Amino acid sequence: MARRSTSSPTGSPTGPRNRTPRPVRVRRRTFGDVVKAFLAFVALLVLVVGVPGALAVLVGWPLPHGAPSLDWLQQEITVTTFLHILTVVVWLAWAQFTACVLVEVKAALSGVGVPGRVPGAGPSQLLARQLVAALLLVGATAASLTPGLSQLGHGMEGNQKGTVAAARQLPGGLFAQQQEQAANTAAAVAEQASHAAAHVDTGSAAKQGDTKYYRIQPPEGRHHDSLWEIAQRHLGDGRRYKEIYELNKDRVQPDGSRLSEASLIRPGWIMEMPADAHGGELVEMPDPSGKVSEQEQRQIHDYARTGDHAQSGGAQAQDGAQAQGGGHAQDGGHGGAARASVPAQRPASDAGHAQHATGSESGHSFGLPEALLGAPLLAAGLLGALGRRRRQALWQSAFGAVGGRRGMEPPTPTGDALDVQDALLVGADPEGVRLLDRSLRALAAALAAESRPLPVVYAAWLTGGDLHLQLAQPSGKPPAPWQTGQDETFWMLARADAERYEDVDTAAPYPGLVSLGTMDDSRLLLNLEAVPGIVSLSGREADRAAVFASVAAELATNGWSDRMTITLVGFGQDLTPLAPNRLRHLDGVEALLETMEAETRQRRGALGAAGHDSVLTGRTGPAQHTRWAPHLVLLAAQPSAEDARRLAELAADASRLGIGYLVGTESGELPGAAWEMEITSAGRLLAPLLGLELDAQRLPLAQQQAVVELFVEADPENGPDGPTTTPPFLVDISEQGRPAVYARLVGPYEIIGLDGPDGERSALLHEALALLLLHREGVHPRVLSSALWPRGVTDDVREALLERLRAWLGHDPDGSPRLRTDGAGRLTLAKSIVSDLDVLRSLYHEATQGKGVDSRVVRGRLLTDALVLVRGPLLADRPEGRYRWLTHEIVDAQLPLLVADIGLALSAFHLEKERAEKAIEALNAALRTAPADERLWHELLRATHATGDTDRLRAVAADLAGRSGARGLPPRTEALLDELLPTWRDDAAAVG
């Protein structure tokens, strides 16, 4: 059946326009194309063949026939000599041009990658490229020579093996499937036809009535038919492709296979159409026009019988077969050949986390932002970066890097910022980030060990706990334990294998991977750095901005990259506080173009000087030290036509240089866009002919502002100067303030005042109580459950835990429960439950800002009492595998600094009265909890020097030097030793 372009009689479709790359648009050859191709052929013939022929006939051999002597250099330059020199130059120019032609022909025929650069060619290679492109218009459109997303996984079409296409593949038609060979298809059709002839009955024809059918067309060039296009042509709206899919799902096709994914259809398949379908390509049965053959009629008759009850029975049979076969569909109609398929998504450790994070367990989010609950990689990156920022502020505060400020407590967020912080704690999947990072680095290390280059990776899917990498082209067998996926362009790593990886010292191979959204249970990460051109995003401005913000935030804070530059243009919210070293805002498109033109030139020159063909070869092997960092440009505002043209020119070679472009557009028309996507108001990310329809990952404006607020509040430069901030929970430290329940967290975990809970659940209840004690401001129920069960939990299990916790903690004498819920729904503890950390903070606060300020005696007593409470690190005996939520906390950094401050204050208290031994005792007690605190060592050196015992001072210096190891002593410590013990360097050399 010939393909015909059938316009919708209803006018312009109302659905989203085609977001497929321009290269896949079918363009008929015109007479002008033929003329251009003929002229290009003549020009190439003249330049490649005619020029050397003319030189050989008219000039002959231009070089001397023998070795020249010195006399030859003294001869007069004649016209013949000049012509011979000129001939040599022309021969060299011809050789260079011929090399350009060969390079361009190879790149054009392969359809993969960017043509290699011939040294010094410049205009010659440009001329060769134009002539070759014009010549190849005879066989294909020039646009088809540019690799697009729909060709992912393909090399030359002529090299595709005749395999049976996949019955089930990874989500999305992002990865183009191989087509069957014509002979296999014909055999399948003949077999189905004979089967149909034996079973056709008169009732089936009557049942069909005037039902309309459509036969999937074979590809034209590189353009493949799709359900979206069919719905666009015959239903007037591409979004109605789901109706066609539902009508035909799991029905047996003429080749014996079934439709299982809306994006995976094959030539020769038959599609039953909705009743309102229209257009000349459709077939009605019975067919009065006679436009289909008798064989095709029999096939359609047989296909019609697979509908209704027969369809459901067939689907059940197939489901049963897949269940028995471990998720691999088997081809029962073609000699038992197995269809290529990806293993069925199986429950994995991160699957539960995903369910927990998205709120599917209860159908709502308890008021927390859904966007962050459903973005585990983004949430993990933001949470990790926020923790680092708070630790940095803590250390700068403690060491006086910020003048006067002595804040031991970070500000407690409120309002939207608190909700966002809770959503980060619930939604984050740090384990998933760790496995992704280790897997990619280990792959790079394994390839480097085999002296193999890194393959170009366009995208990655995280599905069922496994990692699937989509390669730009087949790259051979992956290193173990990686396996080949559904075809040679997929490399797959099972989660169980990923968990056995350890950290390796190699550069991050694919730092440009960023989450775009989810399809079913699979998460798509697109490698912006590898896109052969611009990625455009259309849709409403607010929707585009939410996607751009999500991409920027994840790139800036992700855990699978080392270094990168992210340039933002047209962003309403300043995101720089998230990562000042990575993010930069530019004022407009003109500034962006100037910056990127300069960087593009610089990178081209640097790659050429280093002898690399792309940044990937600079990240592994002997040149690993180069570690080419990506530069990703996010242009949220639509550029003008001229600016878009200049961007397209820069992006043409960007993937080789490690530069990626994501550009927003209102109309959807962006010149030079290689991949086109659309974000809908419902939060769907569409690229129809690419098979992409994702639940987009977004970061709406309100949540952008709240995230930025968290980072700004944590920035030490923005904090107030002055005394130590007040702890969030102060306790009565007098005898009258004795608590009903006392928990000892600083050191081994002990609880006084409560009977032990049920032995089987004791560890869980103790962990829940510890979390609540460390957050006296309140803990969201979902934060508590995600901390205890990071892989997910159901409502009934969480509520059962809370009931047990309430029963265990009991009630105060006035009858009020000790575990309460505040007005915002957060869990809080009664003041009658106190921890030693609360007492420690209160004692230090009272000594330095309360009664101890005016009374030296009171200050000394309070500081001594505080130091006695310190029995070791926080929760020193916690069991392995539990309390993992502490990695998100900064209390593990706060406690050593607090203990060090107490030790320093008590040392100063004793040195005022020249009690050096008491000062040394206090400092040594503090060093047991904070052994790396440089301030404590400095005071210990001064206190020891105050005793006048030089040998003892030498011993302390030697101990300190031994602890510093190969790094050596810090500069300030060396300077102090030079002052207190001038001979310490000689002593260290003698010991060494």
pLDDT at residue 467 above 90?
yes
| Distance of alpha carbon 985 from alpha carbon 970, whole angstroms | 14
- The reported pLDDT for the residue numbered 188 is 40
| Distance of alpha carbon 49 from alpha carbon 776, whole angstroms | 85
Q: What is the mean pLDDT of residues 493-521?
A: 89
Q: What is the mean pLDDT of residues 474-501?
A: 90
- The reported pLDDT for the residue numbered 110 is 55
**DSSP code per residue over 760-806:** GGHHHHHHHHHHHHT-TT-B-HHHHHHHH-TT---HHHHHHHHHHHH
> Minimal CA–CA distance to 660: which of 797, 531, 771, 514?
531
Alpha-helical (H) ranges within 810-855 are 836-849
| Distance of alpha carbon 358 from alpha carbon 417, whole angstroms | 19
Q: What is the pLDDT of residues 225-256, one digit of tens each?
A: 778 888 888 888 877 888 898 898 888 888 77
Q: What is the pLDDT of residues 180-191, one digit of tens each?
A: 333 343 344 344
- Flag the least confident range among 207-211, 459-463, 483-487: 207-211
pLDDT at residue 205 above 50?
no
- The reported pLDDT for the residue numbered 175 is 40
Look at 89 and 621; give whichever has higher pLDDT: 89
| Distance of alpha carbon 796 from alpha carbon 786, whole angstroms | 14
Q: What amino acid occupies position 71?
A: D
- The reported pLDDT for the residue numbered 210 is 67
| Distance of alpha carbon 888 from alpha carbon 884, whole angstroms | 8
Q: What is the mean pLDDT of residues 84-106?
A: 83
Q: What amino acid occupies position 645?
A: R
Q: What is the mean pLDDT of residues 949-973?
A: 84
Model confidence at 765, pLDDT cuts 50, 70, 90, reads very high
- The reported pLDDT for the residue numbered 910 is 93
Sheet strands (E) in 851-961: none
- Flag the least confident range among 375-389, 425-439, 534-548, 666-680: 666-680
Which residue, chain included where needed, has tokens 């053959």?
293
* pTM listed for this prediction: 0.64
- The reported pLDDT for the residue numbered 297 is 81
Angle made by CA atoms 303, 307, 313, in degrees to the nearest 5? 110
- Flag the least confident range among 22-31, 602-611, 650-659: 22-31
Q: What is the mean pLDDT of residues 327-341?
A: 31
pLDDT at residue 462 above 60?
yes
pLDDT at residue 345 above 50?
no
Which residue, chain included where needed, has tokens 């799902």?
249
Model confidence at 155, pLDDT cuts 50, 70, 90, reads very low
pLDDT at residue 316 above 60?
no
| Distance of alpha carbon 486 from alpha carbon 35, whole angstroms | 43
Q: What is the mean pLDDT of residues 910-939?
A: 90
Model confidence at 382, pLDDT cuts 50, 70, 90, reads very high
Residues of the chain with pLDDT > 70, as a percent, come to 74
pLDDT at residue 632 above 90?
yes
